[in-house]
Amino acid sequence: MELYVDSANITEITHAASLGIIRGVTTNPSLLAKEDPTVDVKQRILDIYKTVGGHLSVEVNSTDTDGMLREADDILSWFPEATIKIPMIPTGLAAVKELSRREIPTNVTLIFTPTQALAAAAAGATYVSVFLGRLDDMGQDSIQVMRDVTEIWDTNGLESLIIAASIRHPIHLLECAKLGADIATTPYKVLMQSLKHPLTDSGLQAFLNDYEKMKAEKEKHAKGGQ
Ligand code: E4P
């Protein structure tokens, strides 16, 4: 399972990219709105693309098919490698069908059920983003939804890549990797949490302490021998 970072924050994205663990970035209008409003959206998107260079999903803000297609053309004029993120609504599916005909990659977002995922795949989506955290928030079992989606994909040999989205904690990453999701797009905070373990920190501290002790002993011996 590849990792993407779900963020529009350049500092977070730059740090995650420097660790070599992410292969792409997903953004959405809410993530962009959290950032400095004086920075032009096109400029921010291009800065993100320059930083990571891999997959970058950019979401449209229209709800009608023509508007989505116009926005897609605009985004593609910024950089032709863009993946166009389209909401899982009927007009969105029509836009996905047209973009797929033109071989433009699409990421269908806001998918909460296996049947929505199936419809997005049928329309020609390159990626289907299945949201986990928001389902858990309302008391539904998001991992069961992901289990159903991956089973349907295996049974039917579907080609759209499955993105686990709305990730809230490292257990989501673990479960989605076990189920065979292709990608998990992960908030920076969760990405960092998934790297840490207290035994790693205490183990490293013990190694460093022992190294310093050994160095001090060696220095003492060297001085004594002079
Ligand atoms: C997916 O591409 C979305 O940007 C994202 O994962 C939404 O997650 P949220 O529920 O944390 O807003």
Answer yes or no: is the C-beta of 166 below 6 A from any ligand 1 atom: yes
| CA 80 – CA 169 distance, rounded (Å) | 33
7 φ, ψ to 5°?
Answer: -165, 155
CA torsion, points 139, 89, 36, 46, in degrees to nearest 10?
A: 120
70-120 pLDDT per residue, tens: 999 999 999 999 999 999 999 999 999 999 999 999 999 999 999 999 999
CA torsion, points 143, 145, 150, 156, in degrees to nearest 10?
A: 170
Which atom of ligand 1 is closest in space to residue 134's alpha carbon?
Answer: 10
2-41 pLDDT per residue, tens: 999 999 999 999 999 999 999 999 999 999 999 988 889 9
| CA 72 – CA 60 distance, rounded (Å) | 7
- Any idea which residue has 């924050």 for tokens? 9
Q: Of 89, 184, 190, which Cα lies nearest the Cα of 143?
A: 184
CB neighbour list of residue 210: distance below 8 Å, 6 or more residues apart: none
**In a mutational test of the pocket of ligand 1, which residue from 25, 56, 166 has the highest number of ligand atoms less than 8 Å from its CB?**
166
Q: 106 - beta bridge partners?
A: 84
**What pLDDT shows up at residue 226?**
58
Catalytic residues, by residue number, are 85
Cβ atoms of residues 70 and 62 within 8 Å: yes
Q: 108 - beta bridge partners?
A: 86, 128
| CA 87 – CA 23 distance, rounded (Å) | 22
107-118 pLDDT per residue, tens: 999 999 999 999
139-181 pLDDT per residue, tens: 999 999 999 999 999 999 999 999 999 999 999 999 999 999 9
Q: Hey, what are 69's tokens?
A: 């297609």
With a pLDDT cut of 90, the percent of the chain lying above it is 94
DSSP 8-state assignment for residue 131: E
**For the chain, what is the largest distance between any 2 Cα atoms, rounded to a whole number of angstroms?**
85
Answer yes or no: is the C-beta of 150 below 6 A from any ligand 1 atom: no
Whole-model pTM: value is 0.94
Ligand 1 centroid distance, CA of 165 (Å)? 6
**In a mutational test of the pocket of ligand 1, which residue from 185, 189, 191 has the highest number of ligand atoms less than 8 Å from its CB?**
185
87 φ, ψ to 5°?
Answer: -70, 150
| CA 126 – CA 43 distance, rounded (Å) | 25
| CA 110 – CA 21 distance, rounded (Å) | 25
The per-residue pLDDT of the chain, averaged, comes to: 96
Which atom of ligand 1 is closest in space to residue 165's alpha carbon?
Answer: 6
